[in-house]
Amino acid sequence: MNLKQSPKIHNQERRDQKIVVLRWGHRIHRDSRLTSHVALTARALGCSGFILSDSEDKKLKETIEKVTRTWGGNFFFQMGTTWKSNINNWKAQGGVIVHLTAYGENIQTSDVLNRIKASKGDILIIVGSQKVPKIFYTNEVSDFNISIGNQPHSECSALAIFLDRFFEGNELSSSFQKAKIKIIPQKRGKKTLIQ
């Protein structure tokens, strides 16, 4: 993938580092709902795109692209390419690979997040759906192995906390361009603006 061709991130004014999520190990049907939550988390929390590697899931792609058409912003969904080609291309363009894993350096007790930010490169975050190949932990693949706590929980939650801390909360007040529906936050009830 050519980074220069990929869509502009809606909050790129705030940070220069762009983030794309690479989902590995997706199994159609079994993982569709969780993977869709991972993709929607990526979109809502400031990423510029999502790569479903080594797999194709047309229904999932439609779901995510429909959300983007309805709720706005630029967010690409790519599938069918291999993890290896994506990693190699990303590195060749000066990007950084971050592997989210419960075994990595703890985001809370280490300075790993600061080192990721200091690296300046665009970030490809690997989010596994099943047990990942051992090579993912090595520097042949990852520049950083980062854990969101060292307890088993959810890749969806881990990604969300990583993004919230990376963007320092600003992603939650981003406005999404060309949205057809917009929620107006309320103390009570539900209010939407149809545009």
Residues that bind its own copies (CB under 8 A): 33-34, 37-38, 40-41, 43-45, 67, 71, 101-110, 134, 137-139, 145, 147-154, 156-161, 164-165, 169-174, 176, 182-191
Residues 131 and 165: their CA atoms lie apart, in Å, by 25
Which of 41, 53 has the CB closer to its own copies?
41
* Strand extents, DSSP E, the chain: 19-24, 49-52, 76-79, 96-106, 123-128, 144-147, 181-183, 192-194
Q: How far is the CB of 74 from its own copies (least distance, A)?
A: 13
Q: How far is the CB of 194 from its own copies (least distance, A)?
A: 14
Q: How far is the CB of 24 from its own copies (least distance, A)?
A: 16
Which of 1, 45 has the CB closer to its own copies?
45
Is residue 136 within 8 Å of residue 94, measured between CB atoms? no
Coil, strand, or helix at residue 49?
strand
Which amino acid makes up residue 157? S
Q: How far is the CB of 115 from its own copies (least distance, A)?
A: 10
Residues 180 and 22: their CA atoms lie apart, in Å, by 27
Is residue 32 within 8 Å of residue 57, measured between CB atoms? yes
Place of tokens 């990852």: 142
Which of 88, 157 has the CB closer to its own copies?
157
